[in-house]
Amino acid sequence: MGNNNRVALVRVGPKSLMKRPEGLENIIIPVTDVYETAEEFVLKLDLPGVEKEKINITIQPERLSIRGEAGTTHRDEASLLLREIGVKTYYREFNLGEGIQHQAARAEFEQAVLTVILPKTDAVKAKIISIR
């Protein structure tokens, strides 16, 4: 695919596509795969231990933010003797450029993998030129 399709996800600094929010040094940055098709960008994030209800996805014109919390609870009648599995907060932020249909973005969550689909605008989709 040509360079025109790559304008929607902007790479910033040496850590492409990612930014750790200030003041959140104890945050776990989930591993992510980013795919590009002719029609959309697809992000797949590993969020082990996170329940669907504990995921927050926010999309703005220039930024996509994903936060998820995982943790264990013990039974009320039991006394906690050892805690090695604590509460974990996952956070990942992506800088977005022009070319994303924000209102059409969607997400799926299955087997601890969050999939975010960001459809491209017609302006950045690959065009096929026919030969006469």
Indicate the domain borders of the chain. Answer: 17-71+86-119
Q: How far apart are CA 56 and CA 43, in angstroms?
A: 15
Give the pLDDT of residue 14.
46
Give the pLDDT of residue 87.
82
Contacts of 22 (CB under 8 A, 6+ apart): none
Give the pLDDT of residue 77.
73
Contacts of 3 (CB under 8 A, 6+ apart): none
What does the chain come to in residues? 132
Give the pLDDT of residue 26.
67
Give the pLDDT of residue 123.
83
| pLDDT beneath 50: ranges in the chain | 1-8, 11-16
pLDDT single digits (tens) 48-65: 999 999 999 999 988 999
Give the pLDDT of residue 53.
95
Contacts of 122 (CB under 8 A, 6+ apart): none
Closest CA to 105 of 69, 74, 66: 66
Taking the domain 17-71+86-119, which CATH number applies? Answer: 2.60.40.790
Give the pLDDT of residue 51.
93
Give the pLDDT of residue 79.
82
Contacts of 39 (CB under 8 A, 6+ apart): 119, 120, 125
